[in-house]
């Protein structure tokens, strides 16, 4: 039996800062169904293909953090309040339960699924620490949402203009303890560094992979990636995978 459906979302609020923004949707049929880590294939008016987005659920609303990368994401950021969109979901898998304490590391638009996970874990009484890495203080509008999860929040900016200076992955190794579970979503260097920190202490770690997607439901094969155990389709087998399964590209900087 299929778990997803085509839902109707109404944009009720938005906050856009340059090429980044937060879209808040009223989506009563989806908020109950979605689990942290799962994604939606979201309609963009005037575009044939939908775009995958991993939202958070907070206060009965759907929160989508968007980075304008191309016509689809910029089209989403330009939507007027009141716009109604279709969204296929919930799609993909969810984050597994942590073993003990949960250490969450987000960067960029990875904040959506991890904010959602932090909220669920705190509500279930699990000790949760949420590290977020931002370029500068322009992402400060995220702080109230991060704090509203109830998790211990550590906010980093590359230029030190807000919170702690540097990358969250630089401090992560000093915060890890035996029994922790690590979750990382964001740019690949951030996920790679978090995965390495976890592996050094033999801790379980999970990441959420991005891939180009069309259908979002396993039919078009456009999201195929090679893992250490063989090929998978990110939309159906993921997007959440054990970090030890992933081939990370070697890029010079840590983020």
Examine residue 34 and tell whether it contacts ligand FES (CB under 6 A).
no
Any residues with CB less than 8 A from the CB of 70 and at least 6 apart, and which? none
- Total residues interacting with ligand FES, rule: CB under 6 A: 12
Nearest residue to ligand FAD, using CB? 70
| Contact stretch for ligand FAD (CB under 6 A) within 65-73, 97-105, 123-131, 199-207 | 65-73
Q: Give me 157's structure tokens.
A: 């900016």
30 binds ligand FAD (CB under 6 A): no
Site mask, ligand FAD, residues 99-128, x = CB under 6 A?
Answer: ----------x--x----------------
- Rounded Cα distance between 122 and 142, Å, is 18
Among 7, 9, 30, 51, binds ligand FAD (CB under 6 A): 51
Q: Which residues pair with 15 in a beta bridge?
A: 22
Q: Quick check: 58 binds ligand FES (CB under 6 A)?
A: no
Q: What is the dihedral of CA 181, 185, 188, 193, to 10 degrees?
A: -30
Residue 72 lies near ligand FES (rule: CB under 6 A): no
**φ and ψ of 116, to 5 deg:** -65, -45
Q: Is the dihedral of CA 89, 20, 107, 129 positive or negative?
A: negative
Name which position in 67, 86, 165, 228 contacts ligand FAD (CB under 6 A).
67
Q: What is the DSSP string of 111-153?
A: HHHHHHHHHHHHHTT--EEEEEEESSGGGGGGHHHHHTT-SEE
**221 in contact with ligand FES (CB under 6 A):** yes
Smaller CB separation from ligand FAD, 59 or 71: 71
- Options 87, 193, 215, 232; binder of ligand FES; rule CB under 6 A: 215
- Residue 218 binding ligand FES, by CB under 6 A: yes
Contacts of 248 (CB under 8 A, 6+ apart): 188, 191, 192, 195
Binding region for ligand FES (CB under 6 A): 213-216, 218-223, 233, 235
């Amino acid at each position: 039996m299929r778990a997803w459906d085509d839902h109707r979302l109404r944009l009720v609020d938005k906050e856009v800062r340059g090429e980044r923004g937060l879209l808040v949707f009223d989506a009563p049929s989806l908020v109950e169904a979605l689990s942290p880590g799962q994604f939606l294939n979201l309609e963009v008016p005037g575009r044939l293909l939908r775009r995958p987005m991993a939202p958070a659920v907070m206060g009965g609303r759907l929160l989508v953090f968007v980075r304008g990368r191309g016509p689809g994401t910029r089209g989403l950021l330009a939507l007027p309040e009141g716009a109604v969109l279709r969204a296929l979901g919930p799609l993909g898998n969810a984050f597994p339960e942590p073993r003990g304490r949960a250490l969450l590391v987000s960067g960029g638009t990875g904040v959506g699924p991890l904010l959602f996970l932090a909220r669920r874990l705190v509500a279930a009484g699990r000790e949760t620490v949420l590290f977020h890495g931002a370029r500068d203080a322009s992402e400060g509008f995220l702080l109230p949402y991060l704090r509203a999860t109830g998790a211990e929040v550590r906010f980093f900016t590359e230029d030190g203009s807000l919170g702690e200076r540097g990358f969250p992955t630089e401090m992560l190794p000093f915060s890890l303890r035996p029994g922790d579970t690590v979750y990382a979503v964001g740019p690949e260097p951030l996920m790679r560094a978090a995965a390495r920190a976890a592996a050094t202490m033999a801790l379980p770690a999970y990441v959420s992979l991005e891939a180009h997607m069309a259908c979002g439901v396993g039919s078009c094969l456009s999201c195929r990636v090679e893992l250490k155990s063989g090929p998978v389709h990110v939309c159906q087998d993921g997007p959440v995978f054990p970090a030890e399964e992933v081939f990370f590209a070697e890029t010079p900087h840590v983020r």
